[in-house]
Structure 1
Amino acid sequence: MPGGKGIEYPLDITEINGADVLYESCGIIRESECNTAGLFGAAETCYSCGGATLSIQAMLAAAVSLTGKKKIAAGRYSHKSLINSAVLLGLNVKWIYPDTFLGADIKPEDVERAIDGDTAAVFVNSVDYLGGQSDIAAISEVCKKHGVLLLADNAHGAYKVFTGDHPLSLGADMTADSAHKTLPAITGTAYLHLADSAYLSAAKSAMSLFGSSSPSYLMLDSLDLCAKYIAEERESALHTTERVRELKAELISAGVPLYPSDDMRITVDAAAMGYTGEQIGQLIRGKGAECEMCGNRYAVLLFSVVQPEKDFAVLSEMLRSIPRTEPVEIREIPVIRPEAAMTAREAYFSAKKTVSVKEAVGMICAGINSPCPPCVPIVYPGEVIPAEAAEAMLYYGVGKIECCSL
């Protein structure tokens, strides 16, 4: 038993008799996972106590195991857990570029061009931090045509279990969903959803490979309670998404400029109001709220399916009361396409040194340095750092980076 002996947290137990074993679940955990799978329309669901990061690592490892291939075609601006996995698993990543810097919206035709006979899977990020989304259904058709798996980082879209457009229902083979971002579950809880039971053995093995051997039963209990919420509170959750859409319409009518986003966030175009995203964040913080992300141009407000009704009126008043000034000129970062000199694994495990970003131009990146949020690296291990990437890193506050020293 844990050292706390359940005094403060009675459910803080370990994998004792009768409590099941997370990565070989066949008892109460298995029953709860099956209940959740049914709610999401999955063939199988694996619980994660290591966030969507663990789910992403596991589905990539499972894809390698199931196909015997190590090439992944992936949206360029994916969460750093993808490149972490590439380093650990020795993956070869073929990048698919969107039209905008840090965007997740990749085109099906670009996906098709990235696939070849060595491709194990396509990896897409949808929803991204600003609320952008890829056309999962169309990308799924491309993947099925070529017989490759479609893996979706749905960390910000678990609420789509209510709205009918969850990546699983659109054709994804595996999805990594963060429960704690938009559902009523504690921090670090997540799911790995599988469209086919044939993937379960590989997925569970991969979860065990990357996950802790001491999973938190407090987190597992939270996931079980979240399943109860999903089963019983569909109308309440849908009401919340409707209220977010109504608030967007109200703000637009009042002249508040918004960036198009999904049904669980409002992305304010601060520059069009005469501010930076950080300044809007400070104004909102001063009124008792906190943004999910504040950048140079945008301020992102993320909702939950259990958002109190009073918050909508408060937020509306907050944003409508901010004085407008002349729009701020924000330098747009272009889509950057660095050239790879070696694999991510080779670079990461090479002899390395830390240098200033200004000195790093022309050197080979050997570390994973990503502004968080959105936790998306600008340049990846193994890539030669171009001047525009260095400028972008400085723009986002990254001053130093690890590079190959040889």
Structure 2
Amino acid sequence: KPNEVMLERFIHDIKNISAEHHALFGPLDEPYHTILHLTDGGRGGLEHTNSQTSMVPRTSLQPGHVEDYRDLVSLFSHEYVHQWNVKRLRPKLFLDYDLQREVNTDLLWWFEGATSWIGDIMCLRSGAWSAEDYFADMKRKLKRHHTRSGSSCQALCEASHEAWIHLYRSHAYSRETQISYYLEGELTMFALDAELRKRSKGENGVCDLMKALYDKHNIHVEDPSKRGVQYNDIRKALTSLTGGRRLGSFLDDITKEAGNLDLSRAFSIFGLDYKPSDEPKRKQGTESVVWEQFAQGWLGVHVRSQGNKLKVTSHMQHSPVRDQLQVGDEIVAVDAIRVTNAEQLKSTLKGKVGSTARIMFARNSVMHDAVLDVALEPNYPTVSTSNGNRLWKSTIRSRQVDSA
């Protein structure tokens, strides 16, 4: 059963989030219903025209589970955006579905990625999220972005188009060759928002782009030929906004080509710190102690415990053991110490940076033994809680006063 105080808090927060959405898009006439399924751990949401069914861990509505509650609020806001961006503003090809065949679109980066971007910004604008909440969530997303190498291989439009084929039929090397149009789409919209606000002096952002597209191309506009969008409609709407006139080629580069997302520039435009964290410290204890003795060693693999077995599920970017360990290998022991979960693996690698470790592993039930280099766990750039500059403040400023 949900905690009554947490449930009241959730009701209060979603009222404020809804008001923030209405301040941007205008209210809809139909009543809206939210159905929550509280689970042991599963999470996911499904949008409908005037409702959402969202599945969240029951801990989301229990005291002390800060991250779970943060995710619950984010999920609600994401599905709420879909009233406008998906259910009423759609890809043109989705206006009249042909249910006898696959109907592809190159625009899922917009319909899911931009939805994720605006959904979380609404959490911040409404006060349901604090600045600390927003940046904690952004740190998590940046870690996922940096440890997957697919962004150098696949463009957003391609990832969108191939969702039918690849997204729900993952393989051993999906993390290295594919991207999530949710995650990368959101980060790309962050970068687009920064460029647009810089050129418009804070007047316009991605939320204004979505509003312009909705007003002109939603499924209820009088002219049937205007209903639904294609890529060029998004591009044209962008270049028609104040500040967007020269951003058409920028949009092409970040959605149609791989590896062109410059997050460092985007964070800089907003006056936000984006750099490697202060951890791991270069030294611990006295000045004479060599810091590598305490640093976390790294093999650059994702692992999963299955039963009492620890198996490699994928390689991270810049993995030093890519040529030695394969996806599906079972890591049995490190320097003769048995390992059965990720924490044990991390523990056995601590203090071995710059040296080697003898790894015993099983491949197709055949035992192997190899001496592998242990690298320093990468210290990828991340973001810290910050007030940002006036452009960032224009992004997170509540619109409710404007619409009053």
Place the TM-score, normalised by the shorter chain, in its bin: under 0.3
Larger Rg: 2
Structure whose residues are more often helix by fraction:
2
TM-score of the two chains, using structure 2 as the length reference: 0.26
TM-score of the two chains, using structure 1 as the length reference: 0.26
